[in-house]
Structure 1
């Protein structure tokens, strides 16, 4: 789940976002208004992209900010969340310490999200959220120090944050069944994931060292916006060590055309009680990372957690 202690969430701004912002800016009668609309549009699109990735419905076309006349006459950055209300997406330029609130955005809002841009507008940080009820209606600005983590926004959107990258897996992967060739649907044969596994010969050599009776499966995982929608592969291999124990190997690979993992990608092994047993962090030019091989008894559970930035995916396994 995304951390409640980290305020910053980085979102890439691609060609589509800039194309829409440019189109809206060119419609304006002055360059100053055009620049304002450009940043406003990028701020809205940043929040829209984030909520879309979380599988939260929005209605850009019903927002005042997406209406040609309303955005021309008013300084609005609203984003409609159907059946919930309007969320204001306040742009924050580098060096600014507050969100500035024009009079037209101080009513009929569920709250405000602060969006701060990089110098070249290639990405934006979602700094946090503040509810309308917690600020004075006469305020003309919101200090960035008063922002809460984005998790507070989801109080308004119950039971809608279902993206797998935001919650631990509710399903236990039964590893003992793998020895009987019974696999969960999301866990695929290595050939299905990697194609020509000879290209992974060095990384997969450790799997073959488990023995002829080892079983290996892989699952594609997605850390979404934090990785620019790059997917990763979680690989788990098991082998009988004794009548009571199973030996386990866990690796993380980039998917398909990507040669290397992103730096600072983290993989953790947790006991069933939540104690960290192992941790490995990727470096630049790592084409895979792996935990040290470990053993567990039949019936024992453990957790594998993959983290990057603010996002975490956790898988629960029972032997």
Structure 2
């Protein structure tokens, strides 16, 4: 996280949440305007853990085969040979994912949930690290295909990098070019170490009262007056897994209530379907999330 912050300045919380998703074996959807550093973040993350990063620009004419690959007939062998697409990588940057058709969006579903692809009756395993960083623009919906709920649910977090502060932007324009800082990024971890941390996440201790706290928050999302569809059981699993991974990024092998508070918004935000407001109404969604937190008593130690 410290190495990434040398390039993505002043966004420690976003960096920590993205690393949390990586350790929780989840994926991240960045909802941001262009130009705030999403591509730079993906490249920096890749360099810091010494892994391969592929970028796909999602456009209306993109085909599923442009993502997953295609089988080509080889005249010499008289057989079809599979040519892997850019999805066969460690980190996939799916840029402007909501600008392509639902058919091409769906090409990611199996890969994101099962870390494998099925093509022509054969199953191809993906990288054990496989991690999707997708982006979409919340302010320009002309010519876009909003992600369906099933696709959104595959993302562990929805995050926003956002604008820098006044002082951070001065430092950005007056200092070294971010591309130059990216070239100086060092590999501080290996893929094997990241995979070992993923195993560590599974053994993080969660007190029974914290499980009860987490499920109470989930159930509150299902009964809130302005929520049409609350958090699913898959969302419950994601919530607990994210809290355990956040504890690891904080240097602990046990969870505390703050772990659940920190990951509640990025886990719940894109999964809730509201009744009386547009799903793009962030202020209304923020109020619902606040209501859910305030309705559940935080457990305290004896």
Shared fold (TM-score, shorter chain, > 0.5): no
Q: What range is the shorter-chain TM-score in?
A: under 0.3
Please identify the structure whose Cα radius of gyration is greater. 1
Higher helix proportion (structure 1 or 2): 2
TM-score norm. by structure 1 comes to 0.26
The structure with higher relative contact order (CA 8 Å, sep 6+) is 2
Higher strand proportion (structure 1 or 2): 1
